[in-house]
């Protein structure tokens, strides 16, 4: 078991990447705090883990609220005695996110509150817990759009993921000598609800698919396997990375620095 005796907190565990990663972590022996604003999905995640003889508890929390983030970390320490792995994964992609002219201030603020402030608050309360545990691994979900522009505009989302990537790099530097590793996960386009809701016509799907060398969307389970590597001690010399799991999309388009 690759996460034996570890306690892991997963935000956005009610769906997609978070759900699959929570299950994957549990299969490798970790005890899980499943966090979501979606009560039904989060409870389901915890129940599915327990049904497979794993340990899991659900905490209802909105990652854009400090009090909620403090509560979710406290729940991890109260339930399992410590926190070793923090997966700041909850994120939104608003249907009305567009270009600079057409994106409203409200959509911009909402996207930043969840995608950027949510990661900051997770770290604000999570890092002291990892310090108390003697170290650990933080994985922040960014996106391939943090390193290249997407053909269909979603300006607030893209800017938010760029912020997650640079915040991750700085956190990795700050805590490198404390046995705390911090990596940004950069998934490519996935066949999850978040993206399929946004690419809601065949035409939009094809516009995105044409840019993916593998010619298909990724699966949340494929991302979960990558997160498992970053969470486990197998990645003990990996910190500050922009970990691309994208079917080759960035290799095709990003020019070397």
Q: Which stretch binds ligand NAD (CB under 6 A): 1-9, 12-20, 74-82, 121-129?
A: 12-20
CA dihedral for 175, 129, 88, 17, sign (positive or negative): positive
To ligand NAD, the closest distance from the beta carbon of 216 in angstroms equals 12
* Cα–Cα nearest to 211, from 256, 149, 158, 142: 149
Q: Can 157 be counted among the known catalytic residues?
A: yes
Residue 64 is a binding residue for ligand NAD (CB under 6 A): yes
Burial group, residue 72, by CB count within 10 angstroms (0-12, 13-18, 19+): buried
* Residue among 54, 126, 189, 247 that touches ligand NAD (CB under 6 A): 189
How far apart are CB 178 and ligand NAD at their closest, in Å?
25
Tokens of 17: 């990447």
Of residues 3, 8, 16, 31, which one binds ligand NAD by CB under 6 A? 16
Q: Is 18 in the site for ligand NAD (CB under 6 A)?
A: yes
3-state secondary structure of 201: coil
Q: Count CB-CB contacts under 10 A for residue 81.
A: 11
Nearest distance, CB of residue 108 and ligand NAD, angstroms:
15
Q: Tell me which residue of 223, 162, 168, 231 sits closest to 195, measured CA to CA.
A: 223
Q: Which of 136, 129, 9, 140 is nearest to 72 (CA)?
A: 9
Q: Does 193 interact with ligand NAD (rule: CB under 6 A)? A: yes
Count of residues in contact with ligand NAD, rule CB under 6 A: 31
Site for ligand NAD in 89-128 (CB under 6 A): 89-93, 114, 118
User: At its nearest, how many Å lie between ligand NAD and the CB of residue 223?
Assistant: 8
Q: For the segment 236-255, give every residue that binds ligand NAD (CB under 6 A).
A: none
Contacting ligand NAD (CB under 6 A), which of 8, 12, 136, 212? 12
Q: How many Å apart are CA 214 and CA 246, to the nearest integer?
A: 9
Which residue reads 């070397």 in tokens?
256
User: Measured from the CB of residue 89, what is the shortest distance to ligand NAD in angstroms?
Assistant: 5
Write the binding mask 23 to 62 for ligand NAD: x where contact by CB under 6 A, - elsewhere: -------------xxx--x--------------------x
Residue 140 found at the interface with ligand NAD (CB under 6 A) = no
User: Per-residue DSSP letters for 57-68?
Assistant: EEEE--TTSHHH
Does residue 150 touch ligand NAD according to CB under 6 A? no
Residue 70 CB-half CA count within 13 A: 3
Q: Using CA atoms, how far apart are residues 192 and 82, in angstroms rounded to an integer? A: 31
**Tokens encoding 183:** 């990596």
> Is beta strand 7-11 parallel, antiparallel or unpaired with respect to 56-60?
unpaired
Asked if 63 is part of the footprint of ligand NAD (rule: CB under 6 A), the reply reads: yes
Can you give the binding site for ligand NAD, defined by CB under 6 A? Answer: 11-12, 14-18, 36-38, 41, 62-64, 89-93, 114, 118, 141, 143, 187, 189-190, 192-195, 220
Catalytically active residues, by annotation: 157
């Amino acid at each position: 078991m690759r996460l034996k005796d570890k306690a892991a907190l997963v935000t956005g565990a009610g769906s997609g990447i978070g759900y699959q990663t929570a299950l994957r972590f549990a299969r490798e022996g970790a005890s899980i705090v499943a966090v979501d604003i979606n009560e039904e999905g989060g409870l389901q995640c915890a129940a599915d883990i327990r049904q497979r003889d794993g340990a899991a508890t659900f905490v209802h929390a909105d990652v854009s609220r400090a009090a909620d983030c403090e509560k979710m970390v406290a729940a991890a320490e109260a339930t399992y005695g410590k926190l070793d792995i923090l997966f700041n994964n909850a994120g939104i992609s608003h249907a009305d996110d567009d270009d600079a002219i057409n994106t409203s201030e409200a959509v911009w603020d909402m996207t930043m509150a969840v995608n950027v402030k949510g990661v900051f608050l997770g770290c604000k309360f999570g890092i002291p817990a990892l310090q108390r545990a003697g170290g650990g691994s933080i994985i922040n979900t960014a996106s391939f759009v943090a390193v290249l522009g997407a053909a269909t505009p979603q300006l607030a989302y893209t800017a938010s993921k760029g912020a997650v990537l640079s915040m991750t790099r700085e956190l990795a530097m700050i805590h490198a000598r404390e046995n705390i590793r911090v990596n940004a996960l950069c998934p490519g386009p996935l066949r999850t609800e978040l993206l399929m809701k946004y690419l809601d016509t065949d035409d939009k799907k094809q516009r995105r698919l044409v840019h993916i060398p593998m010619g298909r969307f990724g699966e949340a389970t494929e991302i979960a396997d990558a997160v498992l590597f970053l969470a486990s001690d197998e990645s003990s010399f990996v910190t500050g990375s922009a970990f691309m799991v994208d079917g080759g999309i960035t290799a095709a388009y990003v020019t070397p620095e």
